[in-house]
Amino acid sequence: MFPTIFFHHFNYLILRYKLLDNQIKLIKFDYIDESSLGISSNYDNVQGGGFSLNTYRGNLAVKNNFYWNNTPESNIWSNATLNVALNNGYLTFLGNKWSSIIANTSWQVGGNTFANIGATTVKNSYLNEIKNPVENVIYNAKVGLIYVSDYGYAASSDAWLINLSNYNDETILSNNWMYMGAFEWTISRVPEPVGIRYYNVFGIYDNGNFTTISPSYTYGVRPCFYLNSDVKYVNGDGIENNPYIIK
């Protein structure tokens, strides 16, 4: 399991990191709320669904849920309303200091089938999601969402040989630092089969399993991004009460 490291952002944003492909990727610890996207994002918000205090591990009293895309017949990330909101309103919310140290990243958003991403081992999921998607579609931006394989690799290494469709196992959940116990989006889509029109996106259930669902549903959102290579450590030791300060 990747270690849990905390970063500090003006006393209100704490993120965790994973190291993969020799990059540091920050993943927000808890879900964002409506204020994080800003009213200028032209973005719809619905509160409530998929939020049970029996499973939720975070600190929010109310979890805001957002459309992946409020146009049902499109699961193309470059056109998604959530993408627009994250790379406009959310960057504004972070402020110039943090925006300047976030790397412009090539996000692989071509997607693959549920069998190849959501119902296989995390290694295969990573290969099918990132290295060999059905369509090689790259979108360049600063902010994105987690991959299915990010969530898979956040579990203990003992789980990496188990199909992701069985990640609702209590032992796996208790050793997965990314499991937050509520419905949330990933960045990956399901390409449409030839002759069949449906537009689905991968999401995570509150029980830790995966689903594919219309982007017009509303789930929780945890933004993620990569740091520029010239980011410098200032102080802190990476624990929640003394997080890393970087610049």
Query: Which comes out higher in pLDDT, residue 231 or 106?
Result: 106
Within a domain: 245: no
Q: Could you give the dihedral angle defined by the CA atoms of residues 229, 109, 62 and 176, in that order, rounded to the nearest 10 degrees?
A: -70
Residue 205 tokens read as 């259930």
Within a domain: 193: yes
Within a domain: 167: yes
> Could you tell me which residues come within 8 angstroms of residue 246 by beta carbon, excluding any fewer than 6 positions away?
7, 101, 227, 231, 232, 233, 234
Within a domain: 141: yes
pLDDT tens per residue, range 59-77: 888 778 888 998 777 899 9
Query: Which comes out higher in pLDDT, residue 201 or 95?
Result: 201
| pLDDT given for residue 46 in this prediction | 57
Within a domain: 5: no
pLDDT tens per residue, range 8-41: 553 334 455 555 566 678 888 888 887 787 654 4
pLDDT band at 87 (very low <50, low <70, confident <90, very high): very high
User: Total domain count for the chain?
Assistant: 1
Within a domain: 52: yes
| pLDDT given for residue 9 in this prediction | 53
Average pLDDT, the chain: 82
Within a domain: 36: yes
| pLDDT given for residue 109 in this prediction | 97
Q: How many Cβ atoms are within 10 Å of 110's Cβ, its own excluded?
A: 18
Across 166-194, average pLDDT: 90
Residues spanned by the domain of 50: 31-223
Within a domain: 242: no
Can you tell me the distance from the alpha carbon of 48 to that of 173, in angstroms, rounded to the nearest whole number? 23
Query: Which comes out higher in pLDDT, residue 194 or 181?
Result: 181
